[in-house]
Amino acid sequence: MIGDRLKQLRLARGFSLEALAAELGGVVTRQALWKYEQGRARPTATVLAKLSGALHVPASLLWQEATFETQFIAYRKGYGLLKRDREQVQSVVRLALEDRLRLRERTGQRNGPSIPVQSISVLSVEETEGAAEHLRRLWDLGVDPIASVTGVLEDHAVYVIEIEASEKFDGVSAVAHDENGQTVVAAVAIRRGVPGERQRLDLTHELGHLILKLPEAVDGEKAAYRFAGAFLAPASAMRREVGPRRASVHIAELLLLKRRFGMSIQALLYRLRDLEIITESHYRQWCIEINRRGFRRSEPEPLPTEHPQWLRQTVLRALAEGQLLREEAQRLLGETIEDDEPLSLIERRSLMKLPLAERRRVLAEQAQKSAAHCEEDTEWRDLQGGDIVEY
C-alpha cells in the first residue's frame, strides 16, 4: 500500500526517483525508492520521516489508502503531453479529490446534487445545443450570461482544481467512484494562470466531456466545444443581443460581447458562425484579421481569472471549528494561514495541555497582539477626536 501512495505523492510533486533521492540528502538511493514503490522493500521509520518532509505531507498520509477509484474522462487530442507530465497531472488530481472527499466527511457535509456524468445522450455535434439548454434548465440557470462558471460548478458538486502544468495541458475531467461503482464526486482540472475568457471556455469544455454521452462516430472535441459555446452563450441570448442575421460585426461590438458573455473574441466568432448569424466567409475574414492583429496569442481586454472558493471556505470553517489542525489546513491550501483572532475554546483546552513554559510563551504572544491592537485603536480615536468612527 505504501508503494502506490509513495509513487502518487512523488509524481504529484514532480519528482523523478533521482530527484527525490537527492531531496532526501542521500539517506536512500534511487534503487531503494524504486523498491519501496514496487512493494519489494519497506522504508524504516527514519526514512518515512524524511519522505514526509520532502513530500510536504504528514507521515500518516503515506499509509492511508484511497477509498475510491478515479476515472479520467478525456484528454484533448493533440496534447503532446509526455507520459511523465500526464502521470503528474493524474496524481495531482487524485490527491486533490481525496483531500476534498476527506474534508467533506470531516465537516459533515452531505453529498451534493446528483451529477449527470455522461448521461445526456446526443447523436451529433449539433445536438449538444439541446444538451447545454437541458443542463441549464436542470441547474436553474435561465439563459442569461453566467457571472462565475467556477461558482456554478462548485454549487453543483463539481470541484474545480487549478494545477501547475505544461502549456500543452488545458484541462481534464474526472470522476471518483466508491466500492459500489457509484459516483461520489466529479471534478474538472485546468491549468492555473490563464486569462478568464480562456479559463471559462476550458471549464465548460471539460464539463461537456463530463456530462455528454456520445456515440463513437461523433467527434468528442467538436461536441465539447459546441457544448461550451452553447452553455456560455445560449442561442436565444445571442440572437437577442446580436440579431438573427448579420452582414458584419465590429471589433468594438465583439469586445462588448466578450465582457457580456465572458468569452474570447475567437470563441464568440465561432459561436456566431455555428448559429449562422454570420456567414462562413465572414467568419474566415475575421480569422485572417485575428491573425493580423495578433489576437490568436493575446487578445485585448483580458478578463480576470475566476478562483474556486469551496476548498478555501471549507478549510477555514474546519479550522475555526477545531476539525483541522493548522498544519493540515495550510497543507490543503498551500499557504500560511495568519490568525489574529483570540484563542478559541478548543485552542484554550489544547493550551492547558502544554508545559508551563510553552503556555507562558503562547500567552505572551497573544498579549503582544492585543497590545498592538489597542495602540491602533487609540491612534484611531485620537485622529477622530476621541471617538471610534464606525462605518
Sketch the domain layout of the chain as residue ranges.
Answer: 1-65, 120-293, 340-391
CA 352/CA 335 separation, integer angstroms: 28
Average pLDDT over residues 330-345: 74
Residue 109: pLDDT band by 50, 70, 90 thresholds? confident
Report, in angstroms and rounded to the nearest whole number, the Rg of the chain calculated over CA atoms.
26
CA 329/CA 335 separation, integer angstroms: 9
Average pLDDT over residues 186-193: 92
Q: CA 273, 208, 266 angle in degrees (round to 5)?
A: 30
CATH of 1-65 among 1.10.260.30, 1.10.260.40, 1.10.240.10, 3.40.50.300 = 1.10.260.40
pLDDT above 70 covers a percentage of the chain that reads: 85
Residue 379: pLDDT band by 50, 70, 90 thresholds? very low
Determine whether 60 is exposed, middle or buried from the number of CB atoms within 10 Å of its CB (0-12, 13-18, 19+): exposed
Residue 361 above 60 pLDDT?
Answer: yes
Largest CA distance in the chain: 81
CA 114/CA 123 separation, integer angstroms: 23
**Backbone dihedral angles phi then psi of residue 212, each to the nearest 5 degrees:** -80, 140
Average pLDDT over residues 55-68: 84
pLDDT in tens, 255-264: 999 999 999 9
Bigger pLDDT: 86 vs 378: 86
| Predicted pLDDT of residue 297 | 86
Q: Which three cell numbers stand for residue 17?
A: 526517483
| Predicted pLDDT of residue 334 | 87
Average pLDDT over residues 208-223: 94
**One-letter amino acid of 85:** D
CA 229/CA 238 separation, integer angstroms: 10
Q: Which of 206, 204, 202, 222 is nearest to 122 (CA)?
A: 222
Choice among 178-192, 214-228, 263-277 with the minimum mean pLDDT: 178-192
Residue 219: pLDDT band by 50, 70, 90 thresholds? very high
Residue 155 above 80 pLDDT?
Answer: yes
Long-range contacts made by residues 63-67, C-beta under 8 angstroms, separation at least 24? 63/1, 63/2, 63/5, 64/5, 65/1, 65/5, 66/94, 66/98, 67/101, 67/178, 67/179
**Backbone dihedral angles phi then psi of residue 335, each to the nearest 5 degrees:** -155, 165
| Predicted pLDDT of residue 367 | 66
Residue 56 above 50 pLDDT?
Answer: yes
Average pLDDT over residues 222-243: 96
Residue 103 above 70 pLDDT?
Answer: yes
| Predicted pLDDT of residue 66 | 77
Residue 389: pLDDT band by 50, 70, 90 thresholds? very low
CA 128/CA 227 separation, integer angstroms: 5
Determine whether 285 is exposed, middle or buried from the number of CB atoms within 10 Å of its CB (0-12, 13-18, 19+): middle
CA 123/CA 285 separation, integer angstroms: 31
pLDDT in tens, 287-305: 999 999 998 888 999 999 9
Beta-bridge partners for 186: 158, 175
| Predicted pLDDT of residue 166 | 81
Determine whether 252 is exposed, middle or buried from the number of CB atoms within 10 Å of its CB (0-12, 13-18, 19+): exposed
Residue 80 above 80 pLDDT?
Answer: no
CA 8/CA 55 separation, integer angstroms: 11
CA 93/CA 74 separation, integer angstroms: 13
Confirm if 225 and 125 have CB atoms less than 8 A apart. no
Average pLDDT over residues 189-200: 93
Q: Is 69 helix (H, G, I), strand (E, B) or coil?
A: strand
- Among 89-93, 153-157, 166-170, 259-263, name the most confident range: 259-263
Q: Can you say how many angstroms the Cα of residue 45 is from the centroid of all Cα atoms in its chain?
A: 34
Q: Which three cell numbers stand for residue 338?
A: 495568519
| Predicted pLDDT of residue 348 | 59
Average pLDDT over residues 165-181: 86
